[in-house]
Amino acid sequence: MVSREIGLLVLLCVVGCGVRVGASGSDHVYTEKEHIPLYANKIGPYHNPSETYRYYDFPFCSPGNVREKREDFGEVLNGDRLVDSPYELNFRVDKPNEKLCKKKLTREEVARLRKAALKEYYFQMYYDDLPLWAFIGKVEGENNVDRSNNKYFIYKHIHFDVAYNNNRVIEINTKMEPDQMIDITDDKEVEIEFSYSVKWRETEITFDNRMERYARSSLLPQHLEIHWYSIINSCMTVLLLTGFLASILMRVLKNDFLKYSLELDEESADDLEETGWKYIHGDVFRFPKHKALFCAILGSGSQLLVLAMFIFLLALVGTFYPYNRGALFSALVIIYALTSSIAGYTSTSTYLQLEGNNWVRSVLLTGCLFIGPLFATFCFLNTVAIIYSATVALPFGTILVILLLWTLVTAPLLLLGGIVAKNRNKVFQVPCRTTKYPRDVPPLPWYRGIMPQMAMAGFLPFTAIYVELYYIFESVWGHKIYTVYSILFIVFIILIIVTAFVTVATTYFQLAAEDHRWWWR
């Protein structure tokens, strides 16, 4: 009953926190000439999406009083830092050529812009929750060996092409005018007059479908074709593996059972020498070493599995639509906190069944096993981000919220799961008695060692998902939007099935080799 109530609470909280209609909280309905703010987000090199800086770290035109947009928890985790921009894009108001500001750039600012143009820096903005991008400059005659002949330019004019349907904004695109650039090749002060233009046009695309074009950019026909080839390849792997294991294991086990179930008289039974997995029946259920760590890994793994299933559930119902800023990060943090009771319950239940005598230690180890290395990695990366003034550096307030969430939600639920498991403690039922002293493990060939088995057991599941992994990493490190969650969910299920089959096979072969140390492996 307690587990069902916790599961219902997790589902309600996740759906309530994850489902989100608009990022700005507005109804997205405007009247003619109504002001719609254009927010500048961040700027960084095109080939390194993880390196981003604040927009006004560069010498661009800024309003008199720069105000930061109030952002959600997930948006901050995503590295978004939205601020006001001086561009005036009023609803359905065309502007052929509007002056923005005139700036005199110092030699240091020119040098920084020249370096930014060389690294193909781009900036990102949001207009009515629609993202738009543009490069800040370009390099002509680029030569990586001899850059002395390169020409560096900065765009001084940007054109906004905005589509609308009735009283809603549907689409926005940017175009940098190639005939309006400023040469910044020379190391000297430069005066630039920035300007922009706006053109509104009507479209038949509805407001509900305005995000589909961002999804289509990552759903090209050849990509979908490769995705389906990946699924077919994975399914064939599962079928072949299933058939192979079923035929081999059933034949081997059938022979083993026939041999062990022969009705022999007492004299011949004494002469029978047991071999294989039957020979170590008195050692196979001997408890593993380092029980607390073993159970902590099981607890953390079960929690991460449930976390993945909830994320897939939210993705399949359309919560993580393209550029729903921070929704995924918010869901990850909240669901992880709420599912910590699963880790505490699994860890403590297994620990007590293994006759552990300090279940509190197991719970504490479970709580620190995943968060500890994650927190250490975060501290290092966040320090580097602070040194370089990158937008991915979390402010102190956000760090404090995460610490309070761990202290007030994660830790109590983790302990609650441990208490429930202790009250429901069940004795570990083994089908045969464990001997007092363990048998010696016979010498094994090199391919039955730990490292070769780890490589073999990891290779087969990897072959089932490697194509999908490519697209996942392409969306992380490239400027792609991953939207095919249904295909990813199918691949995830295939991964679990393949892993289970490989586990059964490797465990049997290990026991058949009279190696009873199967728990950790």
231 C-beta neighbours (distance < 10 Å), count: 17
Which pTM value belongs to this model?
Answer: 0.79
Rounded mean pLDDT of 253-263?
A: 64
> 130-135 and 53-54 as β-strands: parallel, antiparallel, unpaired?
unpaired
Return the percentage of the chain with pLDDT > 90, whole number: 31
Instruction: Report the pLDDT value the prediction gives residue 451, as an integer from 0 to 100.
Output: 86
> Could you report the per-residue pLDDT of 422-481, keeping only the tens digit for each?
998 877 777 777 777 888 888 888 888 888 888 888 888 888 788 788 878 877 777 777
Helix segments in 317-405, DSSP class H: 327-338, 340-353, 359-369, 371-387, 396-405
The answer to whether 410 touches 337, Cβ cutoff 8 Å, is: yes
pLDDT score of 498 more than 70: yes
Give 152's strand partners. 139
Angle at 109 between CA 104 and CA 112, to 5 degrees: 150
* DSSP H helices in 33-184: 73-77, 107-118
Angle between helices 291-316 and 2-18 (to 10 degrees): 50
Single out the residue of 404, 476, 486 nearest to residue 78, CA to CA: 476
Give the mean pLDDT of 495-502.
Answer: 87
CA atoms of 250 and 142, how far apart (whole Å): 65
Residue 32 and residue 69: Cα distance in Å, rounded?
24
pLDDT range class, residue 19, cuts 50, 70, 90: very low
Is the pLDDT reported for residue 267 higher than 60?
A: no
Under 8 Å between Cβ of 160 and 199: yes
Structure token digits, residue 90: 């009023």
Beta-bridge mates of residue 55? none
SS (HEC) of 9-44:
HHHHHHHHHHCCCCCCCCCCCCCCCCEECEEEEEEE
Distance, in Å, from the CA atom of 499 to the CA atom of 509, rounded to the nearest integer, reads 15
Beta bridge partners, 7, equal none
Q: If pLDDT is split at 50, 70 and 90, which confidence band does 216 have?
A: low
Mean pLDDT of 241-245: 76
Judged against a pLDDT cut of 60, whether residue 109 lies above it is answered with yes
**8 A C-beta contact, residue 157 and residue 192:** no
pLDDT at 283 over 70: yes
| Strand 38-45 versus strand 95-105 pairing type | unpaired
Question: Residue 24: is its pLDDT beyond 50?
Answer: no
User: Over the stretch 327-346, which tens digit does the pLDDT of each residue have?
Assistant: 888 899 999 999 999 999 99
Query: Using an 8 Å Cβ cutoff, are 347 and 298 in contact?
Result: yes
Distance CA 438, CA 455 (A): 28
Average model confidence (pLDDT) for the chain?
A: 82
Q: What is the pLDDT of residues 149-199, one digit of tens each?
A: 788 999 999 999 999 998 899 999 999 888 888 889 888 888 899 999 999
Give CA 119 to chain center in angstroms.
27
